[in-house]
Structure 1
Amino acid sequence: MAPALPEFKLNANGVPDFDALPLREGIPRLAAWGLYGDKDELGFLNRLTDERVAAAAREEIRSGKRISLNWPLDAQTHEKTFFRRAAFHQQLMSKAPRTINDDVWTFNSQVSTQWDGLRHFAYQEEKLFYNGVGQSDIHGVDEATGKKNTILGIHAWAEQGIVGRGVLIDYHGWRTSPEGEAQSKVKDYNSFESVSIPLEDLQACLKAQGTELKFGDILFIRSGKPVSFFLPLPY
C-alpha cells in the first residue's frame, strides 16, 4: 500500500499548488498521484463535478447547435495512414431474404480521432503510468476476476462521458493574424514539424479572444496541426 499523503495546503480550487508537486516522495517529478486516491482511474477528469457540469450547461448553452469534433473513421486512406496503422475497413452484408443489413468494422482505435487513456503513455524514465501502474499490471490478469486487467482503460472515462465547459483557443487563427504575427514567439511555423507552443502565446491568444478560463474547463487548442489537443485544466 502506498504511504499516506503528507499534509499540504489547498488552494482556492481545493487542490495543492503546482509548486507542492510531487505529493509524496518516490513518485515522478510534478506528479499528483494519490490526490484522488491510490485506485483512481480518472485523473483530472475528477474536476468535472456535477456542479461544474450543471453550471456549464446553465451558463454557456445558447443555441443548442451541436458540432461533432470527431474525425471520420475513413479519413485516412489505405495508401497512407499515420504511423503505418491499419486503415478502416467496413464490410456491409445484406441478410437476405429479410431486408436487413449488418456491418463489420475493422480499424485501429487510433486511425481516426485519438482518445488516449491513462495506460497509453507512461513516465518513460520510471516506466510507470498514472498512480504507479506498471506494464505488468496492464498486461496482467485481475486476481479478483481472473480476466485480463482493465486498469486505467478508456472505459473508466466512457462510463460518465466527458461533459463540461469547453474552451477553444484558436491559436492558428491568432498566430496568422497581424496581431499574432507580431506577438507570437513561434516563427517559421510548420504544421508537420514538432513545435512547442509557449504558454505566453496561448495567454496572448486568450486575451485577444476575450476568453476567461475557469477551473475544470475542457481546453481545445486549434494549433494548425492535423492533431488537436484536449485536456481538463488542472489549476
Structure 2
Amino acid sequence: MKFDPNSNALPMRSELPAISGAPAGAAWFWGSDDELGRLNLLTKERIEEAVKLIKTGTIINLKSVHDQMTTAHQETNTSILQSWRTDYPDPPSFGRKGFEHTIQPVSESAYDDLYNMNTQSGSQWDGFRHVGLRSNNNIIFYNGLTKDAIPNAKYGGMQAWAEHGIAGRGILIDYWGYTGKSYDPITTHRISLEDIHACAKSQGLQFQYGDLLFIRSGFVDHYNRLSETERKHLGMLKKSEHAFVGVEQTEEMLDFLHNNYFSAVVGDAPAFEAWPRSGINLHEYLLPLWGLPIGEMWDLDKLAEMCRSRKQYTFFISSAPANVPGGIGSHPNAIAIF
C-alpha cells in the first residue's frame, strides 16, 4: 500500500493499517525506498498554492531589529527565518559540544573559515537518523533503517532532504505572544492541544495537509535576554536538571500532529516537546514512525512580529538543509516570504 501525497483524505492515526515487520503505528506508506517521510506532502500542487501567499511589501531581516525598506527590495516582503546565532546556546543544552569557529590564513591576502560543530547544538533540523524506536529487540529508524546501519549507511540521511528541497505553506502558532509572555520558558510549561487550538482560532488559522507547523514558545526570546552568567548556568545543568517549555506529551497531541498531516513541525525551544518528558516520547513517534521532521531552536521572533503586524499567520517557507550524505541533522537555512 502506498499513500497518494496529493490526497486530502489520508488515514487517521487510529486507522493506520499494520505493516509487516514494522513497529505498531508506523506510517511507512510512501514507498519501500522512501527517505522523505511527510516531506512527500510538499507536492508541486501544494507549493504552487503556497506561492500565492507572497505579496508586495517590505523586507525584514531577522538578524536586525531596525531594518529599513529599500527601493531594490520593494517587490517582496522577506522575513528571514534566520538560524539562531550559530554559537547559541552557549554552552549548549544536554552537554553537547559548542560551536567552534577558527579563521585560517591561506595566503598573505586570503582567509578561510573552519567550523567544528554539533548540528544538534543550536538551530536545527532533526533528521530521520537522529532518533530510533526499540522494536523486536532492535532499534529501528524511519522506514526500517536499523541501528547497526547508522554509522556506515547513507540511506535516510540529510542528503535526501537537500536534494528534494523543503518549501511550502508555513503557519505560525505564536503561543508566546498569545499568552502575553506570561510564563518562564525555562520551566516545564506544557503547551496543551487546547492551547494550540485557542491560539490558532485567535489568529484565524486553519490547518491544511502539508503545512509546516511553527510554534513560538518564547525560549529564544527569553534566552536572548539572559546575562552571560545565566546562560552559562543554564548550559551547565545536567540532563536531569533541564526544564523547557514545549508541547505536551499526550495521546491527543499525537493524534493532532499525525492526523493533520503536517509536513514538518518547528519550535524555538531545545526539544519541541516539553522537558522533562511526561510519559510519551514524541520524538519516537514523529521521526521513526511517521517520518515527520522536527525543527528546534529556530529564531521565530521577527517572524512573529511580521505576522502580528500583517494579521497574517501564514507564509511561504523554504529551507535548504546541508547536503551531507548520511547526515543526522542540519542547520535549517530557512526564509519566510510574505
Structure 2 counterparts to residues 71-220 of structure 1, below 5 A: 71-77=84-90, 80-97=91-108, 99-125=109-135, 127-139=139-151, 148-176=152-180, 189-220=183-214
Q: Pick from 31, 36, 52 the counterpart of residue 30 of structure 2.
A: 36
CA distance, structure 2, for counterparts of residue 172 and residue 106 of structure 1: 33
SS in 2 for 1:115: strand
CA distance, structure 1, for counterparts of residue 55 and residue 27 of structure 2: 32
CA distance, structure 2, for counterparts of residue 217 and residue 199 of structure 1: 17
Post-superposition Cα deviations, 1:96-143, rounded to whole Å, max 9, x if no partner, equal 33x21111111111122121111111124552111121101223xxxx
SS in 2 for 1:150: coil
1:18 to partner: Cα distance: 2.7
Q: What residue ranges of structure 1 are gaps of 5+ in the alignment?
A: 140-147, 182-188
Correspondence for 1:27: 22
1:228 to partner: Cα distance: 9.6
SS in 2 for 1:28: coil
Q: What residue ranges of structure 2 are gaps of 5+ in the alignment?
A: 58-75, 221-243, 247-256, 263-338
Correspondence for 2:319: none
Higher relative contact order (CA 8 A, sep 6+): 2
CA distance, structure 2, for counterparts of residue 31 and residue 18 of structure 1: 9
The change in CA–CA distance for 1:85 and 1:11 in structure 2 (over 3 A counts) is: closer
Give the structure-1-normalised TM-score: 0.76
The question of whether the paired residues in 1 share the 8 Å contact of 2:99 and 2:117 is answered with yes
Correspondence for 1:185: none
Correspondence for 1:142: none
SS in 2 for 1:219: strand
SS in 1 for 2:172: strand
Higher strand share: 2
Q: Which has the larger radius of gyration?
A: 1
The question of whether the paired residues in 1 share the 8 Å contact of 2:190 and 2:245 is answered with no
CA distance, structure 2, for counterparts of residue 11 and residue 96 of structure 1: 53
Report the AA paired with residue 136 of structure 1.
Answer: D
Report the AA paired with residue 143 of structure 2.
Answer: N
The question of whether the paired residues in 1 share the 8 Å contact of 2:170 and 2:211 is answered with yes
CA distance, structure 2, for counterparts of residue 104 and residue 69 of structure 1: 21
CA distance, structure 1, for counterparts of residue 159 and residue 199 of structure 2: 34
Report sequence identity in percent.
38
Correspondence for 1:234: 261
1:58 to partner: Cα distance: 2.0
Q: Does 2:216 correspond to 1:222?
A: yes
CA distance, structure 1, for counterparts of residue 24 and residue 54 of structure 2: 36
Correspondence for 1:144: none
The question of whether the paired residues in 2 share the 8 Å contact of 1:88 and 1:108 is answered with yes
SS in 2 for 1:206: helix
Count of matched residue pairs: 206
Higher helix share: 2
